[in-house]
Amino acid sequence: GENVEQHPSTLSVQEGDSAVIKCTYSDSASNYFPWYKQELGKRPQLIIDIRSNVGEKKDQRIAVTLNKTAKHFSLHITETQPEDSAVYFCAASDSWGKFQFGAGTQVVVTP
Amino acid sequence: DGGITQSPKYLFRKEGQNVTLSCEQNLNHDAMYWYRQDPGQGLRLIYYSQIVNDFQKGDIAEGYSVSREKKESFPLTVTSAQKNPTAFYLCASQGTSGSRGKDEQFFGPGTRLTVL
């Protein structure tokens, strides 16, 4: 089955700097890669996603890149703000829709 | 944040008791999922259902049971056989967008279960 690894587990950045979180996956059949943000005590919410026919996608300060050959994808947050502090999860899914999540990255943005 | 609800928000259980967590969605989604979340371990899949009256075990199904009698509802029972049930439980539903296939999963607000 699919295995998703996510790094780093914690990430501390200065406000205004960039943050990068990386994930690798094992199943070449995976074709959908969402990123979720979870604030403390709340539900995970989708922030951006990418499908396997696209190499990069951007939405304001966040972007995701996908390298199908190497089986890895990354989340980039630019100009970080205190409200970006949260746990971020990557996931990989095949056409059946079942997700395999990474273990999460705790991002702390310090003023 | 509407569309998928879970109840109760907090649940306390004595050892040896079964307890059922509710999950309801009005998004007309076929697929529904149950996850368990423990600190530092991400989301682990317990059970999932792609269609009414059908469900499959996930990665950590032991000690849990589910039913899917209605499209809108996917209750999870935590049985006394579950060795360490204290955790945050998240339910999710997922739709399909034609040629794009399965879409994002929408999560409920979660139920925090504590075994006393």
User: Which residue of B105, B106, B111 is the best one to mutate when testing the A interface, meaning the one whose CB has the most A CBs within 10 A?
Assistant: B105
User: For residue B32, how many other CB atoms are within 10 A of its CB?
Assistant: 29
φ, ψ for residue A39, nearest 5 deg: -85, 160
Contacts of B102 in chain A (CB under 8 A): 32, 93, 95-97
Structure tokens at B79: 């049985």
Q: Please, what is the end-to-end C-alpha distance for chain A in angstroms? A: 41
User: Cα(A98)–Cα(B6) distance, rounded to whole angstroms?
Assistant: 20
Yes or no, beta carbons of B109 and A43 under 8 Å apart: yes
Give the bridge partners for A75, in sequence order: A21, A64
* Range in A22-31, A84-93, B88-97 the model is least confident about: B88-97
CB contact under 8 A, A96 and B45: no
Distance, CA of B64 to chain centre: 10
Task: Kindly report the average pLDDT of chain B as a whole number.
Answer: 91
* A39 CB neighbour count, 10 Å cutoff: 12
pLDDT tens column, A43-95:
999 999 999 888 999 999 999 999 999 999 999 999 999 999 999 999 999 87
Q: Which residues pair with A66 in a beta bridge?
A: A73
Residue of chain A minimizing CA distance to B108:
A43
Using an 8 Å Cβ cutoff, are B66 and B74 in contact?
yes
How far is Cα A64 from Cα A90, in angstroms, rounded to an integer? 10
Q: How far is A101 from chain B (nearest CA, A)?
A: 6
Task: Give the residue-averaged pLDDT of A93-102.
Answer: 87
Instruction: Say yes or no to pLDDT of B96 above 90.
Output: no
Query: What's the rounded Cα separation, in Å, for the pair A99 and B107?
Result: 13
